[in-house]
Amino acid sequence: MRDGPASSPVTRAAVLTALAETLDIPAVLARFGLTPVQLRELLHQASQECQKETEGTWRLYVDGASRGNPGPAGAGAVLLDPAGQVAEAASRFLGRATNNVAEYQALLLGLELARRHGVRQLDIFADSELLVRQLTGRYQVRSPHLKPLYQAVRRSLAEFPAWRLTHLPRRHNATADRLANEAIDRAAAPR
């Protein structure tokens, strides 16, 4: 809709909010002075804007932690939308595991978040050099307990049309690290 009372984004939001709140199409048409054709165009534009929200490159930060290696372990993941806003963050207690298992589990957790948000292009950041080098083919996966996790991650990554995995220093992965450690702390807290 190029012209008319609902051409500005603020007015579009008001129309959509009123429509959602009332589900009374004739009242919304009258309130905003819209024709049914204009409302249909407005809804079409809104659906395109929603689709654009999943377009662009999203960023995923993942980290696993293990106290004792093996020991109590946790996974953390933070998903940022293309605008750099946190779309979702999650953590999970893993029970007793090695740090490398926790790193793979963190990536699987993060990929779950990305799938839920309909992400198509994903930049993944992890501070585990082993994880990054195994998944990018620089290292082979020799450890029998990591092979099933490696294969699960590869299957999950195949669902994304475009992805890139990058190693980053631990100091740049503080939020995912905090989430992984909080998962361990929550599990250890007395109930």
Domain count, the chain: 2
Least confident window among 2-11, 67-76, 178-187: 2-11
Q: Are 22 and 99 found together in one domain? A: no
Confidence of residue 89 (pLDDT cuts 50, 70, 90): very high
Q: Are 81 and 141 found together in one domain? A: yes
Q: Are 97 and 14 found together in one domain? A: no
The answer to whether 99 touches 105, Cβ cutoff 8 Å, is no
Residue 60 has pLDDT above 50, yes or no: yes
pLDDT digits (tens, 9 = 90+) for 104-130: 999 999 999 999 999 999 999 999 999
Identity of residue 190:
P
Q: Are 119 and 39 found together in one domain? A: no
Q: Are 65 and 120 found together in one domain? A: yes
**Domain coverage including residue 17:** 9-53
Q: Are 87 and 132 found together in one domain? A: yes
* Surface-to-core class of residue 93, CB atoms within 10 Å of its CB (0-12 exposed, 13-18 middle, 19+ buried): middle
pLDDT digits (tens, 9 = 90+) for 142-175: 999 999 999 999 999 999 999 999 999 999 999 9
Is the model more confident about 100 or about 29? 100
pLDDT of amino acid 9: 46
Q: Are 27 and 72 found together in one domain? A: no
pLDDT of amino acid 3: 44
Residue 6 has pLDDT above 80, yes or no: no
Considering the domain boundaries, does residue 97 fall inside one? yes
Task: Identify the CATH number of the domain in which residue 107 sits.
Answer: 3.30.420.10
Indicate the pTM of the whole model: 0.74
Q: Are 156 and 115 found together in one domain? A: yes
For residue 82, the surrounding DSSP H or E stretch is none
Stretch 15-22: mean pLDDT, rounded? Answer: 68
Question: Which distant-in-sequence residues (6+ apart) come within 8 Å of 102 by Cβ?
Answer: 64, 65, 66, 73, 74, 75, 94, 180
